[in-house]
Amino acid sequence: MNLVIDIGNTLIKYAVFENGSMIYNHSFESVLFLSKIKELFEKYPRINKAILSSVGKLDRKERDVVALFCKVHVLSSDSKMPFKNSYATPQTLGVDRLALAAAAYYQNPRGNTLVIDAGTCITYDMVNNAGEYVGGAISPGIRMRYRAMHEQTAGLPLLSPDELLDFIGNSTETCMHSGVINGVAQEVDGVIGQYRSRFQHLTVILTGGDSHFFAKRLKNTIFANSKFLLEGLNCLLEYNTN
């Protein structure tokens, strides 16, 4: 059994894989790390290797806790990748984006794949049909946009993401929701259009915690997969330990 752990900006997510299939996944706040890991290994004592991925600086204690139970691989720019990485500064490429690229490569090895991850930031990552990671883009996520409007103006409130009833707002709050939710949907559609104009037969994967806010508003055909990053981490764990 494999354990994959994704330490994000807001939550820690983990999943257990057996023979390539995800059999369990959960998310929790970082303060619960020790207790959650102990509970997990009590439930799945046959886990024998794990991979840790952190978008920030990984605390040594987190690695050491997992290492008490099994072998641990910490994902970094030095990890082996199954695809060709053509990023100009590979040492600055986030490990979350490496995992998404790996998932794209394994799930569509002879195709062009664009992965869009709607989290704290919205990232776009492209793997072409030659098995080459060519780069992408980083854009502010929806909560970041709400916070920017509140913090950079004198009168706009701090809102939480909400469903959009109409793209024409008729109050300050509904105008802000339209600007963020509808604006992101239009942005994503536009970016997909740019990639489709360059890459034939493009497969688009949408993932991330905020993807549900605009997935149904996209005009382009996409495949939604909320567990795509975790699947990529499992692929990289296998690739780096076998």
Residue 169 has pLDDT above 70, yes or no: yes
pLDDT in tens, 218-230: 888 889 999 999 9
Residue with tokens 């699947």: 231
Q: With helix as H, strand as E and coil as C, how does 174-232 read?
A: HHHHHHHHHHHHHHHHHHHHHHHHHCCCEEEEEECCCHHHCHHHCCCCCEECCCHHHHH
Distance CA 113, CA 201 (A): 9
Q: Confirm whether residue 7 is marked as ligand binding.
A: yes
Listed by start position, the domains of the chain span: 1-74, 75-241
| pLDDT tens profile 170-213 | 999 999 999 999 999 999 999 999 999 999 999 999 999 899 88
Looking at residue 96, its amino acid is D
Please tell me whether 32 is known to bind a ligand.
no
12 is an annotated ligand-binding site residue: yes
List 78, 96, 166, 210, catalytic entry: 96
75-241: same fold as 1-74?
A: yes
Q: Tell me the pLDDT of the chain averaged across its residues.
A: 93
Closest CA to 74 of 84, 62, 83, 86: 62
Q: What local confidence, expressed as pLDDT, does residue 214 receive?
A: 83
Q: What is the pLDDT of residue 58?
A: 64
Higher pLDDT, 59 or 106: 106
* pTM of the predicted protein model: 0.92
* 110 annotated as belonging to a binding site for a ligand: no
Do residues 240 and 211 lie in contact, with contact meaning Cβ atoms separated by under 8 Å?
no
pLDDT > 90? residue 137: yes
Active-site annotation holds for 96: yes
d(CA 121, CA 138): 7
Tell me the per-residue pLDDT of 39-75, one tens digit each, with 9 for 90 and over: 999 999 999 999 999 887 666 788 899 999 999 999 9
φ, ψ of residue 167 to 5 degrees: the values are -75, -15
Instruction: Find residue 27's DSSP bridge partners.
Output: 13
CATH of the structural domain 1-74, one choice from 3.10.105.10, 1.10.1370.10, 3.30.420.40, 3.30.2270.10:
3.30.420.40
Confidence of residue 241 (pLDDT cuts 50, 70, 90): very high
- Looking at domain 75-241, its CATH class is alpha beta
Is 94 assigned to a binding site?
yes
